[in-house]
Structure 1
Amino acid sequence: MKNVNLILVLLLLIFFACSSSEGDTRSEGVTGGYAVGDTARDFRLKNVDGKMVSLTDYEEAKGYIVIFTCNTCPFSKMYEDRINALHAKFADKGFPVIAINPNDARKKWGDSYDNMIDRAKEKGFKFPYVQDKTQEIARAYGATNTPHVYVLNKDRKVVYIGSIDNNARDAASADKLYVEDAIMALENNKAPEISKTKAIGCTIKWAS
Protein backbone atom coordinates (compact mmCIF):
# COMPACT_ATOMS: atom_id res chain seq x y z
CA MET A 1 0.00 0.00 0.00
CA LYS A 2 2.84 2.37 0.81
CA ASN A 3 4.35 1.73 -2.63
CA VAL A 4 1.03 2.50 -4.31
CA ASN A 5 0.72 5.78 -2.40
CA LEU A 6 4.27 6.74 -3.32
CA ILE A 7 3.61 6.11 -7.01
CA LEU A 8 0.45 8.23 -6.84
CA VAL A 9 2.34 11.09 -5.22
CA LEU A 10 5.07 10.96 -7.88
CA LEU A 11 2.51 10.96 -10.69
CA LEU A 12 0.76 13.96 -9.14
CA LEU A 13 4.04 15.85 -8.85
CA ILE A 14 4.82 15.23 -12.54
CA PHE A 15 1.29 16.27 -13.50
CA PHE A 16 1.44 19.57 -11.62
CA ALA A 17 4.98 20.34 -12.85
CA CYS A 18 3.87 19.95 -16.44
CA SER A 19 0.40 21.44 -16.21
CA SER A 20 1.46 24.54 -14.26
CA SER A 21 1.73 26.74 -17.33
CA GLU A 22 0.94 29.98 -15.51
CA GLY A 23 -1.81 30.90 -17.93
CA ASP A 24 -0.04 29.64 -21.06
CA THR A 25 -2.14 28.02 -23.76
CA ARG A 26 -1.45 27.04 -27.33
CA SER A 27 -3.30 30.07 -28.67
CA GLU A 28 -1.29 32.48 -26.53
CA GLY A 29 2.10 31.25 -27.66
CA VAL A 30 1.54 29.83 -31.12
CA THR A 31 -0.50 30.77 -34.15
CA GLY A 32 0.12 28.49 -37.08
CA GLY A 33 3.54 26.90 -37.21
CA TYR A 34 4.90 24.36 -39.64
CA ALA A 35 3.15 21.36 -41.08
CA VAL A 36 4.84 18.35 -42.63
CA GLY A 37 6.06 19.43 -46.06
CA ASP A 38 6.75 23.05 -45.08
CA THR A 39 10.23 24.52 -45.30
CA ALA A 40 11.52 25.56 -41.88
CA ARG A 41 13.35 28.83 -41.39
CA ASP A 42 16.92 28.93 -40.23
CA PHE A 43 17.90 30.55 -36.94
CA ARG A 44 20.92 32.00 -35.20
CA LEU A 45 20.81 31.27 -31.49
CA LYS A 46 23.32 31.30 -28.64
CA ASN A 47 24.73 27.93 -27.61
CA VAL A 48 25.82 27.04 -24.08
CA ASP A 49 29.44 27.44 -25.21
CA GLY A 50 28.77 31.10 -26.04
CA LYS A 51 28.88 30.61 -29.81
CA MET A 52 26.01 31.29 -32.20
CA VAL A 53 24.50 28.29 -33.98
CA SER A 54 22.63 28.13 -37.28
CA LEU A 55 21.48 25.25 -39.45
CA THR A 56 23.66 26.64 -42.24
CA ASP A 57 26.71 25.91 -40.06
CA TYR A 58 26.26 22.24 -41.00
CA GLU A 59 27.42 22.35 -44.61
CA GLU A 60 27.47 18.58 -45.01
CA ALA A 61 24.16 17.93 -43.25
CA LYS A 62 21.73 15.49 -44.82
CA GLY A 63 19.04 16.63 -42.39
CA TYR A 64 18.47 17.95 -38.90
CA ILE A 65 16.87 16.83 -35.65
CA VAL A 66 15.54 20.03 -34.06
CA ILE A 67 14.25 19.45 -30.54
CA PHE A 68 12.53 22.06 -28.39
CA THR A 69 13.35 21.07 -24.82
CA CYS A 70 14.33 22.57 -21.49
CA ASN A 71 15.99 22.02 -18.12
CA THR A 72 12.94 21.84 -15.90
CA CYS A 73 10.21 19.73 -17.49
CA PRO A 74 10.11 16.17 -16.08
CA PHE A 75 9.43 14.81 -19.56
CA SER A 76 12.41 16.66 -21.02
CA LYS A 77 14.57 15.16 -18.28
CA MET A 78 13.27 11.69 -19.10
CA TYR A 79 14.44 12.13 -22.68
CA GLU A 80 17.87 13.71 -22.12
CA ASP A 81 19.81 10.45 -22.39
CA ARG A 82 17.83 9.49 -25.48
CA ILE A 83 18.57 12.86 -27.08
CA ASN A 84 22.26 12.29 -26.39
CA ALA A 85 21.92 8.84 -27.96
CA LEU A 86 20.21 10.23 -31.07
CA HIS A 87 23.05 12.67 -31.62
CA ALA A 88 25.67 9.98 -31.04
CA LYS A 89 23.95 7.65 -33.50
CA PHE A 90 23.11 10.06 -36.30
CA ALA A 91 25.34 13.16 -36.17
CA ASP A 92 28.24 11.44 -37.95
CA LYS A 93 25.78 10.21 -40.58
CA GLY A 94 24.80 13.81 -41.33
CA PHE A 95 21.80 14.25 -39.04
CA PRO A 96 22.84 16.40 -36.05
CA VAL A 97 20.68 17.22 -33.05
CA ILE A 98 20.12 20.89 -32.28
CA ALA A 99 18.27 21.36 -28.97
CA ILE A 100 16.45 24.65 -28.38
CA ASN A 101 15.24 25.91 -25.00
CA PRO A 102 12.21 28.14 -25.67
CA ASN A 103 11.07 28.76 -22.10
CA ASP A 104 10.90 32.28 -20.71
CA ALA A 105 13.37 32.25 -17.82
CA ARG A 106 11.26 34.85 -16.00
CA LYS A 107 8.54 32.20 -15.77
CA LYS A 108 10.95 29.33 -15.13
CA TRP A 109 14.19 30.52 -13.55
CA GLY A 110 15.56 27.00 -13.86
CA ASP A 111 15.59 27.52 -17.63
CA SER A 112 17.91 30.53 -17.52
CA TYR A 113 20.95 30.56 -19.79
CA ASP A 114 23.31 29.96 -16.85
CA ASN A 115 21.27 26.97 -15.77
CA MET A 116 21.33 25.67 -19.34
CA ILE A 117 25.12 25.74 -19.20
CA ASP A 118 25.09 23.81 -15.93
CA ARG A 119 22.59 21.25 -17.23
CA ALA A 120 24.54 20.66 -20.43
CA LYS A 121 27.71 19.99 -18.42
CA GLU A 122 25.89 17.77 -15.93
CA LYS A 123 24.35 15.60 -18.64
CA GLY A 124 27.32 15.69 -20.98
CA PHE A 125 25.44 17.09 -23.96
CA LYS A 126 27.45 16.59 -27.16
CA PHE A 127 24.97 18.56 -29.26
CA PRO A 128 24.28 22.32 -29.36
CA TYR A 129 21.85 23.46 -26.67
CA VAL A 130 20.74 26.94 -27.65
CA GLN A 131 18.44 29.53 -26.10
CA ASP A 132 15.44 30.92 -27.98
CA LYS A 133 15.38 34.00 -25.78
CA THR A 134 12.77 35.89 -27.81
CA GLN A 135 10.72 32.70 -28.44
CA GLU A 136 10.58 33.72 -32.09
CA ILE A 137 11.77 30.35 -33.35
CA ALA A 138 9.39 28.32 -31.20
CA ARG A 139 6.50 30.39 -32.52
CA ALA A 140 7.68 30.08 -36.11
CA TYR A 141 7.99 26.30 -35.85
CA GLY A 142 4.72 25.95 -33.93
CA ALA A 143 6.27 24.21 -30.94
CA THR A 144 3.92 23.83 -27.98
CA ASN A 145 5.61 21.38 -25.63
CA THR A 146 8.95 20.29 -24.25
CA PRO A 147 10.12 18.09 -25.77
CA HIS A 148 8.77 18.74 -29.28
CA VAL A 149 10.71 17.39 -32.27
CA TYR A 150 11.00 18.57 -35.88
CA VAL A 151 12.96 16.35 -38.27
CA LEU A 152 14.07 18.25 -41.38
CA ASN A 153 15.68 17.06 -44.58
CA LYS A 154 18.78 18.71 -46.03
CA ASP A 155 16.65 21.43 -47.65
CA ARG A 156 14.98 22.13 -44.27
CA LYS A 157 11.72 20.58 -45.41
CA VAL A 158 9.79 19.21 -42.42
CA VAL A 159 9.34 15.43 -42.66
CA TYR A 160 8.31 14.61 -39.10
CA ILE A 161 6.79 16.48 -36.12
CA GLY A 162 6.04 15.16 -32.64
CA SER A 163 7.48 12.88 -29.98
CA ILE A 164 10.82 11.08 -29.92
CA ASP A 165 9.17 7.71 -29.25
CA ASN A 166 6.04 6.28 -27.66
CA ASN A 167 7.20 5.78 -24.07
CA ALA A 168 8.50 8.79 -22.17
CA ARG A 169 8.93 7.02 -18.85
CA ASP A 170 10.73 3.87 -20.03
CA ALA A 171 13.06 3.98 -23.02
CA ALA A 172 13.45 0.21 -23.04
CA SER A 173 9.70 -0.24 -23.43
CA ALA A 174 9.35 2.14 -26.38
CA ASP A 175 8.38 0.15 -29.46
CA LYS A 176 7.77 3.09 -31.79
CA LEU A 177 10.98 5.04 -32.41
CA TYR A 178 9.48 7.89 -34.41
CA VAL A 179 12.59 10.05 -34.83
CA GLU A 180 14.88 7.12 -35.62
CA ASP A 181 12.37 5.82 -38.16
CA ALA A 182 12.15 9.26 -39.78
CA ILE A 183 15.94 9.45 -40.11
CA MET A 184 16.11 5.93 -41.52
CA ALA A 185 13.51 6.92 -44.11
CA LEU A 186 15.53 9.99 -45.10
CA GLU A 187 18.64 7.86 -45.47
CA ASN A 188 16.69 5.71 -47.94
CA ASN A 189 15.22 8.72 -49.78
CA LYS A 190 11.74 7.89 -48.53
CA ALA A 191 9.07 9.69 -46.55
CA PRO A 192 8.53 8.44 -42.98
CA GLU A 193 5.57 6.10 -42.58
CA ILE A 194 4.56 8.11 -39.51
CA SER A 195 5.06 11.83 -40.12
CA LYS A 196 3.23 13.35 -37.16
CA THR A 197 2.51 12.37 -33.56
CA LYS A 198 1.37 14.20 -30.46
CA ALA A 199 4.19 15.89 -28.55
CA ILE A 200 3.97 14.70 -24.94
CA GLY A 201 5.44 17.01 -22.31
CA CYS A 202 5.12 20.30 -20.51
CA THR A 203 3.68 23.39 -22.15
CA ILE A 204 6.20 25.97 -23.25
CA LYS A 205 6.40 28.83 -20.77
CA TRP A 206 5.58 31.85 -22.91
CA ALA A 207 6.53 35.41 -22.02
CA SER A 208 3.62 37.56 -20.90
Structure 2
Amino acid sequence: MKKLILACLSMFLISAVNGQTGYQVGDLASDFNLKNVDGKNVSLANYKNAKGYIVVFTCNTCPVSKAYEARVEALHKMYATKGYPVVAINTNDPVTSPGDTYAKMQERAKEKGFSFAYLEDPNHVFTKKYGAQRTPHVFVLQKTTKGNEVAYIGAIDNDQQEANPQRDNYVQNAVNQLLKGEKPSVASTKAIGCTIKWKKEASR
Protein backbone atom coordinates (compact mmCIF):
# COMPACT_ATOMS: atom_id res chain seq x y z
CA MET A 1 0.00 0.00 0.00
CA LYS A 2 2.86 2.38 0.89
CA LYS A 3 4.50 1.74 -2.49
CA LEU A 4 1.18 2.39 -4.28
CA ILE A 5 0.71 5.71 -2.46
CA LEU A 6 4.28 6.75 -3.30
CA ALA A 7 3.78 5.81 -6.95
CA CYS A 8 0.57 7.85 -7.17
CA LEU A 9 2.27 10.80 -5.50
CA SER A 10 5.18 10.52 -7.91
CA MET A 11 2.85 10.58 -10.92
CA PHE A 12 1.06 13.61 -9.49
CA LEU A 13 4.34 15.47 -9.02
CA ILE A 14 5.53 14.58 -12.52
CA SER A 15 2.27 15.87 -13.97
CA ALA A 16 2.60 19.09 -11.99
CA VAL A 17 6.17 19.64 -13.12
CA ASN A 18 5.25 18.99 -16.76
CA GLY A 19 2.34 21.40 -16.52
CA GLN A 20 -0.19 18.68 -17.27
CA THR A 21 -3.67 19.70 -16.29
CA GLY A 22 -7.16 18.68 -17.29
CA TYR A 23 -8.57 15.20 -17.62
CA GLN A 24 -6.75 11.95 -16.97
CA VAL A 25 -7.72 8.47 -18.17
CA GLY A 26 -10.74 7.32 -16.17
CA ASP A 27 -12.12 10.82 -15.58
CA LEU A 28 -15.58 11.82 -16.76
CA ALA A 29 -15.42 14.49 -19.45
CA SER A 30 -17.96 17.30 -19.59
CA ASP A 31 -20.02 18.01 -22.68
CA PHE A 32 -19.66 21.22 -24.65
CA ASN A 33 -21.85 23.35 -26.89
CA LEU A 34 -19.65 24.99 -29.53
CA LYS A 35 -20.21 26.49 -32.99
CA ASN A 36 -19.52 24.22 -35.94
CA VAL A 37 -18.29 25.44 -39.32
CA ASP A 38 -21.86 25.06 -40.65
CA GLY A 39 -23.04 27.73 -38.20
CA LYS A 40 -24.87 25.32 -35.89
CA ASN A 41 -23.85 24.55 -32.33
CA VAL A 42 -22.75 20.99 -31.62
CA SER A 43 -22.54 19.05 -28.36
CA LEU A 44 -21.73 15.42 -27.66
CA ALA A 45 -25.36 14.92 -26.67
CA ASN A 46 -26.34 15.55 -30.31
CA TYR A 47 -24.92 12.14 -31.20
CA LYS A 48 -27.78 10.06 -29.87
CA ASN A 49 -26.48 6.70 -31.11
CA ALA A 50 -22.85 7.24 -30.14
CA LYS A 51 -20.99 4.69 -28.05
CA GLY A 52 -18.20 7.20 -27.55
CA TYR A 53 -16.30 9.97 -29.27
CA ILE A 54 -12.92 10.76 -30.80
CA VAL A 55 -12.36 14.36 -29.68
CA VAL A 56 -9.45 15.94 -31.55
CA PHE A 57 -8.05 19.28 -30.41
CA THR A 58 -6.45 20.75 -33.52
CA CYS A 59 -6.21 23.90 -35.63
CA ASN A 60 -5.84 25.24 -39.17
CA THR A 61 -2.26 26.42 -39.04
CA CYS A 62 -0.05 23.84 -37.32
CA PRO A 63 1.99 21.79 -39.83
CA VAL A 64 1.51 18.70 -37.69
CA SER A 65 -2.26 19.17 -37.60
CA LYS A 66 -2.24 19.59 -41.37
CA ALA A 67 -0.23 16.40 -41.75
CA TYR A 68 -2.90 14.52 -39.83
CA GLU A 69 -6.03 15.97 -41.47
CA ALA A 70 -6.52 13.05 -43.86
CA ARG A 71 -6.02 10.56 -41.03
CA VAL A 72 -8.56 12.39 -38.85
CA GLU A 73 -11.04 12.23 -41.73
CA ALA A 74 -10.27 8.53 -42.17
CA LEU A 75 -10.93 7.89 -38.48
CA HIS A 76 -14.33 9.55 -38.77
CA LYS A 77 -15.26 7.53 -41.85
CA MET A 78 -14.03 4.35 -40.20
CA TYR A 79 -15.72 4.75 -36.83
CA ALA A 80 -18.66 7.18 -37.03
CA THR A 81 -20.97 4.42 -38.27
CA LYS A 82 -19.66 2.15 -35.49
CA GLY A 83 -20.55 4.67 -32.81
CA TYR A 84 -17.34 6.69 -32.42
CA PRO A 85 -17.57 9.90 -34.46
CA VAL A 86 -14.75 12.41 -34.67
CA VAL A 87 -15.45 15.83 -33.15
CA ALA A 88 -12.64 18.30 -33.85
CA ILE A 89 -12.10 21.50 -31.85
CA ASN A 90 -9.89 24.41 -32.91
CA THR A 91 -7.82 25.33 -29.87
CA ASN A 92 -6.17 28.52 -31.10
CA ASP A 93 -7.02 32.13 -30.32
CA PRO A 94 -7.98 33.79 -33.65
CA VAL A 95 -6.33 37.08 -32.64
CA THR A 96 -3.00 35.52 -31.71
CA SER A 97 -3.24 33.21 -34.74
CA PRO A 98 -5.16 34.97 -37.57
CA GLY A 99 -5.10 31.81 -39.66
CA ASP A 100 -7.43 30.22 -37.11
CA THR A 101 -10.41 32.57 -37.38
CA TYR A 102 -13.86 31.08 -37.76
CA ALA A 103 -13.94 32.14 -41.42
CA LYS A 104 -10.60 30.40 -42.03
CA MET A 105 -11.94 27.30 -40.30
CA GLN A 106 -14.88 27.29 -42.71
CA GLU A 107 -12.53 27.68 -45.66
CA ARG A 108 -10.30 24.84 -44.45
CA ALA A 109 -13.19 22.49 -43.82
CA LYS A 110 -14.63 23.15 -47.29
CA GLU A 111 -11.25 22.87 -49.00
CA LYS A 112 -10.43 19.56 -47.33
CA GLY A 113 -13.96 18.17 -47.37
CA PHE A 114 -14.22 17.51 -43.66
CA SER A 115 -17.20 15.29 -42.92
CA PHE A 116 -16.75 15.61 -39.15
CA ALA A 117 -17.77 18.50 -36.93
CA TYR A 118 -15.12 21.21 -36.67
CA LEU A 119 -15.86 23.50 -33.73
CA GLU A 120 -14.38 26.76 -32.47
CA ASP A 121 -13.25 27.27 -28.87
CA PRO A 122 -12.01 30.88 -29.12
CA ASN A 123 -11.80 31.41 -25.37
CA HIS A 124 -10.03 28.08 -24.70
CA VAL A 125 -12.76 27.02 -22.26
CA PHE A 126 -12.80 23.34 -23.24
CA THR A 127 -9.22 23.27 -24.46
CA LYS A 128 -8.16 24.02 -20.89
CA LYS A 129 -10.87 21.92 -19.26
CA TYR A 130 -9.78 18.82 -21.19
CA GLY A 131 -6.11 19.66 -20.78
CA ALA A 132 -5.08 19.75 -24.44
CA GLN A 133 -1.42 20.76 -24.75
CA ARG A 134 -0.60 20.33 -28.43
CA THR A 135 -2.24 20.22 -31.83
CA PRO A 136 -3.34 17.60 -32.53
CA HIS A 137 -4.22 16.15 -29.11
CA VAL A 138 -6.80 13.36 -28.94
CA PHE A 139 -9.21 12.33 -26.18
CA VAL A 140 -11.15 9.12 -26.85
CA LEU A 141 -14.28 9.05 -24.71
CA GLN A 142 -16.46 6.03 -23.94
CA LYS A 143 -20.12 6.63 -23.16
CA THR A 144 -21.00 4.88 -19.90
CA THR A 145 -23.86 4.98 -17.42
CA LYS A 146 -21.74 7.37 -15.34
CA GLY A 147 -20.96 9.72 -18.22
CA ASN A 148 -18.36 10.13 -20.95
CA GLU A 149 -15.31 8.39 -19.54
CA VAL A 150 -11.86 9.25 -20.86
CA ALA A 151 -10.40 6.02 -22.26
CA TYR A 152 -7.37 7.27 -24.18
CA ILE A 153 -5.35 10.51 -24.31
CA GLY A 154 -2.51 11.41 -26.64
CA ALA A 155 -1.30 11.12 -30.21
CA ILE A 156 -3.10 9.68 -33.21
CA ASP A 157 -0.11 7.47 -34.04
CA ASN A 158 3.68 7.54 -33.89
CA ASP A 159 4.28 8.23 -37.58
CA GLN A 160 3.84 11.93 -38.35
CA GLN A 161 5.57 11.64 -41.74
CA GLU A 162 3.67 8.47 -42.74
CA ALA A 163 6.99 6.79 -43.42
CA ASN A 164 6.72 3.80 -41.10
CA PRO A 165 4.58 0.91 -42.42
CA GLN A 166 4.71 -0.66 -38.94
CA ARG A 167 3.45 2.42 -37.10
CA ASP A 168 1.43 2.18 -33.92
CA ASN A 169 -2.10 3.44 -34.63
CA TYR A 170 -2.89 4.46 -31.06
CA VAL A 171 -6.36 5.91 -31.56
CA GLN A 172 -7.46 3.21 -33.98
CA ASN A 173 -6.26 0.48 -31.64
CA ALA A 174 -7.95 2.11 -28.64
CA VAL A 175 -11.31 2.37 -30.39
CA ASN A 176 -11.09 -1.17 -31.73
CA GLN A 177 -10.52 -2.47 -28.21
CA LEU A 178 -13.38 -0.40 -26.80
CA LEU A 179 -15.69 -1.82 -29.47
CA LYS A 180 -14.70 -5.29 -28.27
CA GLY A 181 -15.60 -4.36 -24.70
CA GLU A 182 -11.96 -4.09 -23.65
CA LYS A 183 -9.95 -1.27 -22.13
CA PRO A 184 -7.24 0.15 -24.40
CA SER A 185 -3.95 -1.61 -23.76
CA VAL A 186 -2.21 1.70 -24.47
CA ALA A 187 -4.31 4.37 -22.77
CA SER A 188 -1.92 7.32 -22.83
CA THR A 189 0.80 8.60 -25.15
CA LYS A 190 2.59 11.90 -25.61
CA ALA A 191 0.87 14.26 -28.03
CA ILE A 192 3.36 15.60 -30.57
CA GLY A 193 2.58 18.82 -32.37
CA CYS A 194 2.48 22.60 -32.15
CA THR A 195 1.93 24.51 -28.96
CA ILE A 196 -1.50 26.06 -28.56
CA LYS A 197 -1.77 29.75 -29.45
CA TRP A 198 -3.37 31.16 -26.29
CA LYS A 199 -5.00 34.51 -25.76
CA LYS A 200 -2.42 36.78 -24.20
CA GLU A 201 -4.34 37.03 -20.94
CA ALA A 202 -4.97 33.25 -20.97
CA SER A 203 -1.43 32.17 -21.78
CA ARG A 204 0.32 29.77 -19.42
> Normalization by structure 1: what TM-score?
0.84
1:1-208 paired onto structure 2 within 5 Å: 32-155=21-144, 156-170=148-162, 173=165, 175-208=167-200
1:29-86 CA distance string (max 9 Å, x none): x762000000001000000000000000011100100000000000000000000000
On the 8 A contact 1:68/1:99 being kept in 2, the answer is: yes
On the 8 A contact 1:167/1:174 being kept in 2, the answer is: no
4+ residue runs of structure 1 moved beyond 4 angstroms? Answer: none
State percent identity of aligned pairs.
Answer: 54
Alpha-carbon distance in 2 for matches of 1:75, 1:144? 13
**Aligned-residue CA RMSD in angstroms?**
1.5
Gaps of 5+ in 1: 1-25
> Normalization by structure 2: what TM-score?
0.86
With a CA cutoff of 8 Å and minimum separation of 6, indicate the structure with the bigger relative contact order. Answer: 1
- Corresponding letter in the other structure for 2:88: A
- Corresponding letter in the other structure for 1:119: R
Partner of 2:9: none
On the 8 A contact 1:31/1:139 being kept in 2, the answer is: no
Indicate the SS of the match to 1:64.
strand
Alpha-carbon distance in 2 for matches of 1:130, 1:106? 17
Question: What is the count of residue pairs matched by the alignment?
Answer: 181
- Corresponding letter in the other structure for 2:198: W
**Residues 206 and 59 of structure 1: CA distance in aligned 2, closer, same or farther (over 3 Å):** same
